[in-house]
Each structure stands twice: as C-alpha cells, then as structure tokens.
Chain A
Amino acid sequence: MADLSTQNPGGFAQRAATAMLRAGGGTTASLQMPPLQADTSDAGQIGLNAPGFLSLPLAPVVFRKARVALGDGQLPKYELLVSADAVAAQVSQLKLSSPQALFGQASGVVVAGKLFLIEAVSASESQGEAYLYRLLLQDAGGEWPM
C-alpha cells in the first residue's frame, strides 16, 4: 500500500551531511571527466592521443580507508564520502541527467594528488533524495602525481 502521508523535503539532510563532512576534515576531490571537445579520431581510441581529462572538483568530501578484510596481493580500498549538494551542483552545471551519469563518465578520481579508480557508487537517501554519496575506490597502478 502506498504511503500517502505528506512529506516536505527541505534539504535538511543534505545540509546536515555537508556540514558533517566539512566538520569531519572535509577536503576536495576531483573527478577525471572526458573533455568537452570529445576526441573522435582513430588515434583517440587506440591509445595514441592523450585523453585530456578535465578535473571536476567536488567538495566537501571525506576520504578514508575502507573497512574490508584484505588478502595476500590485494590492493587496499578506500571510501570517498561526497556531499550530495556538491554532486548536484556539478550534475546541473554539466546538464547531465543524473548523478549516476556523472560517476559513470568519470574515469577516476584524484584525491591529494593521487589517482584512484572508482569500483562502486552508492547513495544514502532521506525522503527519497540523496544526501550523501559513497564511492568505493581502489589504488590506480600508475604512481604519477596528478
């Protein structure tokens, strides 16, 4: 049976999450996004051309080591908690259909000058609206500074 009670989402959860991230040592992470002028050439598809990724800043975010049991030879995993307000601003600016489209286009995320690969994305919701995104990250093999 449908829940017909009146709900007035006022963005309280979003503001609380943003404040919590900021108070918890919030920093800035950058999504690696494809360039606005897409490379349609053959060279762009066979690894000849530099991809020219754009850095899309997201703040506030909190970065921490994920609580997963590691086995031999496994790379450590990390969590990035991202404010839904920050994500919504970038989704709106890039005129994307959804936050999932934003994360789907990202080829990685840079935190403190280090590249990480996105393994999974999940959202915490209140009254049907996301207030916090959780990205599961893994170390990228390349150790080059970003």
Chain B
Amino acid sequence: MQNAKDTFYILLRGRLASLNPARTMTLRAVSRPGILVSEAEAPAAQPILDAFALNWTGMQADLQLPAILSQMTCEIGYSTAGTQTNAGLDRGRALEEMDYEVLKLLYPYSAQKMNYTTNPATAMETMVFWSEPEFSPVVIERDRLSRTVKVTVFAFQEQGEQ
C-alpha cells in the first residue's frame, strides 16, 4: 500500500512540474513543485497556500480477489488567498486555476506501481489506478479559499510487498 501512495504522489508531482512549472514552494530548504504529502512533513498550524497537500484518510481491502485489492482515500487539499499584485482580489481566479490543475494532474487515471525504497526506483508488476475526483464545496475563511478533492486510489498487493 505504501508503494501505491508513494507512486501516486511522485506521479502527481511530476505532472505538476510539467503542467505548471511556476507552482513551486520552498519546504525544508528545498524548492520543489507545490505538492506535498502531509504525513511526510512537519505539522503546520496553517496550510501552505497555493500548494496541494495529499492526506491519506480512508482505507479498505477487498479480500475476495486472488490478490488483495486496497482502496485508499486520498484527500487533496489546497488553499489560496490570491496574489499580492491583485491584493488578493483574484483569489477566486487562483482557486479556479488550482481546480483545473487537479483535473489535469489526475488524468490519466492510472500509473505503473513503483517501489521507491530501492535506489533507483524499480517498476512493480501491477498498476495503481484511481477514481475521478470528487470536489467539495469551497470553504471560505476571511481572505482564504480552500477546497478538498477526494480520490479513491486502488492497488493490488503484490507478493512480498509490505
């Protein structure tokens, strides 16, 4: 399951770098595409604006198949307060841009599962695939607009995989 989570994040990060190279952030002194796995970073009192945060929440396993099929819920959260140039009055437009990016990042809805515990990463035998995104309503907190997108990620548990 961890390999599926790692694959999903690194795939989305690569797609974001191609789709919008300007969406970057500096985290732990590294400038990188504006997407992160919340459980792999230090907790923060406030979300990082204009970046995508992956939160793994739900988990189910289908044991009726020849291989265990894991279904994990990934909630992609993002917030924006617009840009300084426009004094934040473009926050609606900025959120719409991030909505569009999420749609583009998630398509196509599958990828080869990779094992990132080896160096270099090695391809595994099965695919990771996921559902179409479910967009939640916008949450408004003063000048900050936030949204969560829910995706169900599926992956088969391979022999010997933890």
Which of B13, B29, B121 counts the most A-chain CB atoms under 10 A from its CB? B29
Given contacts A34-B30, A46-B9, A48-B117, 12 further A-B contacts (CB under 8 A): A34-B29, A40-B30, A43-B116, A43-B117, A45-B32, A46-B6, A46-B37, A47-B37, A105-B28, A108-B42, A117-B42, A117-B43
B87 beta carbon closer than 8 Å to chain A: no
B37 nearest in chain A by CB position: A46
A118 to B10, CA, bound (A): 28
Binding site for B on A (CB under 8 A): 32, 34-36, 38-40, 42-48, 51, 105, 107-108, 117-120
**Residue from the list A43, A119, A120 in contact with B119, Cβ < 8 A:** A43
Main secondary structure of the interface of A (DSSP, over half): loop
**Residue from the list B30, B36, B117, B121 in contact with A38, Cβ < 8 A:** B30
Size of the chain B interface, CB-CB below 8 angstroms: 20
The verdict on A45 contacting B42 (CB below 8 Å), with A39-B30, A40-B30 known, is no
A40 to B116, CA, bound (A): 14
B45 beta carbon closer than 8 Å to chain A: yes
Q: Can you list 17 A-B contacts with CB-CB less than 8 angstroms, sorted by A residue number?
A: A34-B29, A34-B30, A36-B29, A38-B30, A39-B28, A42-B121, A43-B116, A44-B28, A45-B10, A45-B13, A45-B36, A46-B5, A46-B10, A47-B40, A51-B28, A107-B28, A117-B43
- Please name all residues of chain B whose beta carbon is closer than 8 Å to the beta carbon of A108 when the two chains form the complex: 42
A15 to B13, CA, bound (A): 48
B39 beta carbon closer than 8 Å to chain A: yes
